[in-house]
Amino acid sequence: MAEAYPWQDSLWQQLAGRTQHAHAYLLHGAPGIGKRALAERLRARLLCQQPQGLDACGECKSCHLLAAGTHPDSAVLEPEEFDKPIKVDQVRSLVNFLVQTAQLAGRKVVVVEPAESMNLNAANALLKSLEEPSGDTVILMISHQPSRLLPTVKSRCVQQACPLPSETMSLQWLASALPDSSAEERAELLCLAAGSPLVAVRMQEQGVREQRAQVVDGVKKLLKQQIAVSPLAESWNSVSLQLLFDWFYDWSQLMLRYQLTQDEHGLGQADMRKVVQYMAGKASQAKVIKMQDWILLQRQKVIAKANLNRVLLLEALLVQWASLPGPG
């Protein structure tokens, strides 16, 4: 059974309590808030032969088949490889599945994640099934970035926003999910995860707090001229490029905010507050904005899996960062 997260209670009652279901739902929201678990829980409820209230019974033939991953009326559409697009041939195979009669004389349910990973041809191939599904079919589409979906896809779905849980609720849940971490560590993880509790758990497993400390220490040494650009760039091999660009972009954004407001409460996390304040006082807004534009461009290349020279890219980033306090 998919996990039931406490921040989804009201949304679950709204979805599972419907007497009639739409043929397609678009569950969208930030990564790491349990949208996949919500979709799988709803799939189990829709396929269950003897539902118990708002949940699947977990005991009927349908529930057992689903738990074993062999349910004949359930399908999952996702990239064949991590971070790769969903291809048109995959969608065509799904369409063939959708036109068949349900084998357990119930409905068919499909989970699609992430929906935005469908390339243009794949998305277009799914349109007819979204508009006129065969039989009693429900398609549960999950999107972390709905703005990347075709308007024609979104218009054929009931769009359901999945909001971030409150900070209090997230920290309460993290206390049980990460019992060996201190309250301060959990709060730091949640901040690094932009409020997404499941992302915070993954970051803990990946050692992101330790990576962040390493990066912050390197940035401070660079500004004090205690380390050169090249060895510092090479020392960050274990840190993902996307994380690095996210952090540097956030720091530049905090600089601009402080330059405009002089609000010392808006300097971000404690580990970089003094650095951000110092840089904001030394760098021109024009140079900070120019660096931001460059970071966003490179970040997009990273997301698109462009063939980049990692060390040269980080050296370029650090050269720009180190030059911010200078004239210009």
**Where residue 183 sits, what CATH number does that domain have?**
1.10.8
Q: Is the pLDDT of residue 174 over 80?
A: yes
- Give the Cα separation of 154 and 149 in Å (integer): 7
In terms of residue numbers, what domain contains 302? 215-323
CA dihedral 234, 237, 239, 245 (to 10 degrees): 50
56 and 152 share a domain? Answer: yes
Q: Is the pLDDT of residue 24 over 70?
A: yes
Q: So what's the pLDDT on residue 38?
A: 96
Whichever domain contains 278, its CATH number is 1.20.272
317 and 239 share a domain? Answer: yes
89 and 145 share a domain? Answer: yes
Q: So what's the pLDDT on residue 328?
A: 60
Q: What are the phi and psi torsion angles at 297 (to 5°)?
A: -65, -45
| Number of domains making up the chain | 3
Q: Is the pLDDT of residue 2 over 80?
A: no
> For 118, which DSSP code?
B
92 and 176 share a domain? Answer: no
At a CB cut-off of 8 Å and minimum separation 6, what does 103 contact? 72, 73
> Average of pLDDT values for 300-322?
90
> Average of pLDDT values for 60-87?
92
Q: pLDDT of 94-142, one tens digit each?
A: 999 998 888 886 889 999 999 999 989 999 999 988 888 777 899 999 9
Q: Is the pLDDT of residue 187 over 90?
A: yes
At a CB cut-off of 8 Å and minimum separation 6, what does 55 contact? 1, 16, 41, 44, 45
206, 236, 264: which is the final residue of a domain? Answer: 206
Asked if residue 317 belongs to a domain, the reply is: yes
Q: So what's the pLDDT on residue 5?
A: 94
Asked if residue 86 belongs to a domain, the reply is: yes
Asked if residue 1 belongs to a domain, the reply is: no
Q: pLDDT of 225-255, one tens digit each?
A: 999 999 999 999 999 999 999 999 999 999 9
Q: So what's the pLDDT on residue 133?
A: 75
156 and 13 share a domain? Answer: yes
- Give the Cα separation of 7 and 303 in Å (integer): 29
152 and 12 share a domain? Answer: yes
> Average of pLDDT values for 4-27?
92
Tell me the average pLDDT of the chain: 92
